[in-house]
């Protein structure tokens, strides 16, 4: 249920497909101007799929520093779906609520990363 990137597994499948013009657009649109934004979106999806799990971990870390009780509340729901949901239901659709809550932590990880970059860029360099 935590597989975001790579080849699909036989029972769980994958968390989705990366969009490309050939997979999602009609044949008449594949060589048109509409194919460029679809291809760019697919590239962004590929990058995010490999960064998702580290961002979730960073978001969990930051969440515990901001509000321990709220983070535990969200984490309890995630663990419920991860442990019981993946044991009882082997289809991805049953884990989608867990995935959406994990994306909250990934977003918090992105915010933390941006704040870290801003503060490190503002600090004067010692020479």
Long-range residue pairs from 49-54, CB within 8 A, at least 24 positions apart, any chain? 49/4, 49/5, 49/15, 49/18, 50/4, 50/5, 52/4, 52/5, 52/102, 52/103, 52/106, 53/2, 53/4, 54/109
Max distance between CA atoms of the chain, in angstroms, equals: 60
Contact 23, 36 (CB under 8 A): no
pLDDT tens for 84-122 read 876 776 666 777 788 888 999 999 999 999 998 998 877
The C-alpha torsion from 3 through 7 and 11 to 13, rounded to 10°, is 70
Extents of the domains making up the chain: 21-122
pLDDT tens for 3-52 read 666 666 666 556 666 777 888 888 888 888 888 888 888 888 888 888 88
Strand ranges inside 16-123, DSSP E = none
Q: How confident is the model at residue 63 (pLDDT cuts 50, 70, 90)?
A: very high
User: Which pLDDT score, from 0 to 100, does residue 69 have?
Assistant: 94
């Amino acid at each position: 249920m935590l597989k975001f990137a790579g080849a699909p597994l036989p029972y769980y499948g994958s968390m989705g497909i990366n969009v490309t013009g050939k997979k999602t657009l009609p044949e008449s649109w594949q060589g048109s101007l509409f194919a460029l934004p679809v291809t760019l979106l697919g590239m962004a999806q590929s990058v995010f799929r490999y960064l998702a799990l580290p961002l979730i971990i960073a978001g969990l870390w930051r969440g515990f520093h901001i509000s321990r009780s709220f983070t535990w509340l969200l984490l309890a729901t995630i663990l419920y779906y991860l442990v019981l949901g993946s044991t009882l239901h082997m289809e991805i659709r049953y884990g989608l609520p867990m995935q959406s809550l994990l994306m909250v932590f990934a977003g918090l990880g992105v915010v933390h990363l941006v704040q870290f970059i801003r503060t490190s860029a503002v600090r004067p360099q010692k020479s």
